[in-house]
Structure 1
């Protein structure tokens, strides 16, 4: 317990001066006996602390759970004393810091200034401020600091977690870099081995050639040297012979000397001692290092694909059969061109129908840019395979639609057709050409082989076998004619007899609103129910089967099918072609409004033949696509208003019939 030494204290409340009674010093520096303060003590609502007000100055005092016992005790020093504030000597070490201005114990904390003050400072300088006992304020501020500490600890944990992830990523990068470095070193080691092996092989070959040539030259040199020794010996003998002064002795040895001369002259001539081997050893790096180049090329091809990841940009003009077309190719990596020797390329054009591949020629126009010359011999979807050392480049093989050859294109015109709309070719042997003539309300039958008119069926009327406004027309393999009219569909014989009729304006099953295109496929009849925005399908017995396309179609104008049952619909409002499967599920669409390649302008007719779609529109042309939506080419028509189309196959020729409402043909 803290204590304060004073003269004999007294209590202003009970005037007690008994030394046996404990006197307590309040923070406001007023002192009272312990007994009087006990009577003033009030318990706080929390049940664990106390509060009292100084009887003299009403200064609030907050006490801990030990109550009055926690206050400093005044010890008498002797002599008399007075009530109220006494002359004292306090110990700052026992009761806390003392204010330097007022020599009073600092017991308050100003919440406004965030500073500790004594009672006098609170009265003089902090009159309108909010302040509390230090032990009361410290609890609140400790909680505030604890909250800040908790946030700091959370942030510390987050930093630790992030740093842990960074360290893990550093280890991953180092590990991956080490793996790549090992691969590169292994590759470099292999390349070094290959170069060393190639060098050894070349040196071995060079040594063999050198030794062969030197062996021949050595034999020739040895023989020549022996001959030269013999000639020099004869020469010395002749010189000695000429030096003989005795005529008799000279003549007696002449015969021997002449024999020596004849032997030298009749031996090997000088021409025999010209070098028998030429100094023609040559080194052709590309030829001699063929194996090495191939091996390095294979590794280079692997590097090209694994590490360079080349971007392939390709383009080709409209490709037609029996004509040479250039396919442009660019190889780039990170916007930098990649140059590869054309010797490492393999380019082949793969025709459809399992035909043999066609070799193509590739040339490098500039670094990273190549031209592939190809000449397809047939139409249809081809595949262009481009490899580097037997490794396909990105996107290879490329799809190349090939259009039929345009040479020898002939035109047959059937005149005097009144507002032709629908066109169809069919019958058991494609012998009939049918034209729906809305101007005269009839369907005219022509012979496809000659173009001559056979008959016209129908006529204006609403009864069966008659037409109000015939639009779409088709013919079944059993020679039954299908015709769409204003709000009905009829089945007729080639002589005009009505076999079946379905009519009724509406949007329900077997009801129509201005139907147009019609086709038959796989024992089903598909009708472009234009203003109901759908394709309505009937069974072969003319019962209702299904409807589809209402969620994507706006004004379906015509419909056709391929051998697999896929339906292709031209929409006159969206300028698109829509593809559906056999169950009517939407698969894709292609085309867009315009007059450019692959664009359509209010398409009106569509027909199918040999993996190709033929579409007529207001651009006065027939646009040809494959079944994947890839544009192939277009055929420009004379100025008019192209309507529907019809196709037929005759050997290797596709015959295309187009209705022209302007020229009435």
Structure 2
């Protein structure tokens, strides 16, 4: 098993729901209790916070998923049924809300997770309709997939999604990891046997976690996802893990109240 050793703890949250790290190395964290989003550096300095409970632009009601590019931050504002985008300094830019659209295909409700592909398209996990809805960066509808017409790749209770470097889309469903190509066609499905409840792909590094354990895997649509348990040394056993990701050979583990950082042992 790969081994990482404790380096530091950063952040102070009340009930963190998700996190992501931008290519520039800034960490963005959403919090259920405060309905806020935080921007930290890798040393844990709080650079900016934004949000607060509400339905106005820039406010949240249960922010559940965050995704960061170099320039933009996207947040799934679950109970407001919308996706909000911010600049890298957390100034509000725009929102995407389709729940009252005349076009059923583009509607999403209670979004849980989002990602941007290399082509620049935006993918939103629609938990109300158990599917993924894809838009261009201007908010124009492209397609949805994983719904009732997806055959054996139909999603039953999707939790989170991640975009791989080759623009394939990985969706964590309740029993499987389902992979779609960049046109939304299902191409593979691998059982995880309930072992994981979160996953991330950051710069090609696949990580997954449950309450107490983190895993890594190589990404292969042919061989599937082979979850390899990671040994985290030098700290108390972690409990209530929310999410985990790898960046610059370090493992960042999000707990409800903080981030624990481990560095790789050679």
Q: Secondary structure at the match of 2:5?
A: coil
CA displacement at 1:557 relative to structure 2: 1.4
Q: Secondary structure at the match of 2:93?
A: strand
Matched with 2:48 is 455
Matched with 1:659 is 254
Match of 2:125 among 521, 525, 528: 528
CA displacement at 1:646 relative to structure 2: 3.6
Matched with 2:82 is 488
Change in 2 beyond 3 A, CA 1:416/1:546: same
Match of 1:585 among 171, 176, 185: 185
Alpha-carbon distance between aligned partners in 2 of 1:545 and 1:412, rounded to the nearest angstrom:
43
Report if aligned partners of 1:457, 1:495 keep a CA contact under 8 Å in 2: no
Matched with 2:226 is 631
- Tell me if 1:643 matches 2:253: no
Tell me the TM-score normalized by structure 2. 0.82
CA displacement at 1:441 relative to structure 2: 0.5
Deviations 1:467-519 (A, max 9, x none): 111011011222x1100012100111234332111124369344322111111
Deviations 1:542-564 (A, max 9, x none): 21111111132112211112221
Q: Which protein shows a greater Rg?
A: 1
CA displacement at 1:444 relative to structure 2: 0.4
Match of 1:516 among 112, 115, 120: 112
Report if aligned partners of 1:437, 1:470 keep a CA contact under 8 Å in 2: yes
CA displacement at 1:420 relative to structure 2: 0.6
Alpha-carbon distance between aligned partners in 2 of 1:508 and 1:645, rounded to the nearest angstrom:
34
Report if aligned partners of 2:113, 2:124 keep a CA contact under 8 Å in 1: yes
Whose strand fraction is larger, Structure 1's or Structure 2's? 2
Change in 2 beyond 3 A, CA 1:658/1:459: same
Matched with 2:201 is 607
Alpha-carbon distance between aligned partners in 2 of 1:627 and 1:440, rounded to the nearest angstrom:
35
Deviations 1:277-329 (A, max 9, x none): xxxxxxxxxxxxxxxxxxxxxxxxxxxxxxxxxxxxxxxxx6xxxxxxxxxxx
Matched with 1:422 is 18
Number of residue equivalences: 242
CA displacement at 1:417 relative to structure 2: 0.9
Q: How does 1:163-178 map to 2 (within 5 A)?
A: none
Gaps of 5+ in 2: 260-266
Alpha-carbon distance between aligned partners in 1 of 2:11 and 2:25, rounded to the nearest angstrom:
19
Q: Secondary structure at the match of 2:63?
A: coil
Q: Secondary structure at the match of 1:413?
A: strand
* Relative contact order, higher structure (CA 8 A, sep 6+): 2
Report if aligned partners of 2:11, 2:46 keep a CA contact under 8 Å in 1: no
Alpha-carbon distance between aligned partners in 1 of 2:185 and 2:210, rounded to the nearest angstrom:
25
- Tell me if 1:499 matches 2:93: yes
Q: How does 1:185-584 map to 2 (within 5 A)?
A: 405-406=2-3, 409-427=5-23, 430-448=24-42, 450-478=43-71, 480-485=72-77, 486=79, 487-505=81-99, 508-522=104-118, 523-550=120-147, 551=150, 552-571=154-173, 573-574=174-175, 576-584=176-184
Tell me the TM-score normalized by structure 1. 0.35
CA displacement at 1:412 relative to structure 2: 2.8
CA displacement at 1:409 relative to structure 2: 2.9
Q: Secondary structure at the match of 2:184?
A: coil
Alpha-carbon distance between aligned partners in 1 of 2:227 and 2:18, rounded to the nearest angstrom:
24
Alpha-carbon distance between aligned partners in 2 of 1:501 and 1:568, rounded to the nearest angstrom:
24
Report if aligned partners of 1:528, 1:535 keep a CA contact under 8 Å in 2: yes
Change in 2 beyond 3 A, CA 1:413/1:440: same
Q: Secondary structure at the match of 1:578?
A: strand
Alpha-carbon distance between aligned partners in 1 of 2:201 and 2:215, rounded to the nearest angstrom:
11
